[in-house]
Amino acid sequence: MAQIGKLNAAKASLAEVKNGQVIGVGTGSTVAIFIELLGKKVKEEGWDVLCVPTSYQSAYLAIENGLRLTTLDEHPVLDLAVDGADEVDADLNLIKGGGAALTREKIVDASAKRFVVVADKTKLVAALGEKFPIPIEVIPLARKTASMRIAMLGGDPKLRDGGDRKDGPLVTDNGNFIIDAKFSPVKDPRALEFELKRIPGVVEAGLFVHLAHTAYIGDDGGVQRIDRRQE
């Protein structure tokens, strides 16, 4: 089951954590398990660890689990970032943003000396875009014009709605909208990321290219560790 895989991945990633570190914590179901496990470890070991959250959701969860928070203003270089992913390819390129926190996640993850991904086995793909659309954060003014330009790049853009709990579009923690763009499997993630971020009004794209150092991929039987190939 995917839930067991998430638990196994989160447990394995705890080996990356050391006393005294400043850690970026991502957003999503697997990272939520990591935060809970980290809170228990810090309490049991009496460790002094600070966390930089990527969303209000992860901030509240960290506080609930007894973890102390800090900011990038106070610690612009992090020791470690632990985050999830919607898709992971063999080169550890990622699609992220299912939780609508992609901009803050990319800022925090890129600020870490070491960025570790935790995910269950269903997130492994041969090429990005096989299962998930690419989330793209846009300012509200640009929702139509950005969608047109995304379509010109070959994407099928859909404005993400707020779901059952909110009428209208989903609004990010930054006050922006999310466009989910389905592309055919992405042959060149770096090139597509570059083109998407050139579109006026696009704040960030949910392609994380050559940022992750290691991924812990869990399933019912245990964990597979994947390290990024040397460039």
Q: How far apart are CA 97 and CA 89, in angstroms?
A: 16
201 in a known ligand binding site: no
Same domain, 20 and 118: yes
Same domain, 161 and 86: no
- For residue 29, the enclosing domain spans 2-124+209-221
84 in a known ligand binding site: yes
CA 45 to each of CA 8, 24, 41, 52: distance values in angstroms, whole numbers, following the listed order: 21, 20, 6, 20
11 in a known ligand binding site: no
H or E element that contains 62: helix 56-64
Return the CATH number at 154.
3.30.70.260
- Please say whether the beta carbons of 215 and 225 come within 8 A: yes
Residues designated as active site: 105
Q: What is the pTM of this model?
A: 0.94
What is the reported pLDDT for 184?
85
Same domain, 48 and 118: yes
Going by pLDDT thresholds of 50, 70 and 90, the confidence category of residue 100 is very high
Same domain, 105 and 144: no
Same domain, 94 and 199: no
The predicted model gives 7-23 an average pLDDT of: 97
| pLDDT above 90 (res 110) | yes
Same domain, 39 and 147: no
The number of domains in the chain is 2
Same domain, 117 and 189: no
91 in a known ligand binding site: no
Same domain, 99 and 9: yes
Same domain, 110 and 198: no
The predicted model gives 180-185 an average pLDDT of: 94
28 in a known ligand binding site: yes
Return the CATH number at 65.
3.40.50.1360
94 contacts: CB under 8 Å, gap ≥ 6: 85, 86, 87, 88, 117, 128, 207, 208, 211, 212
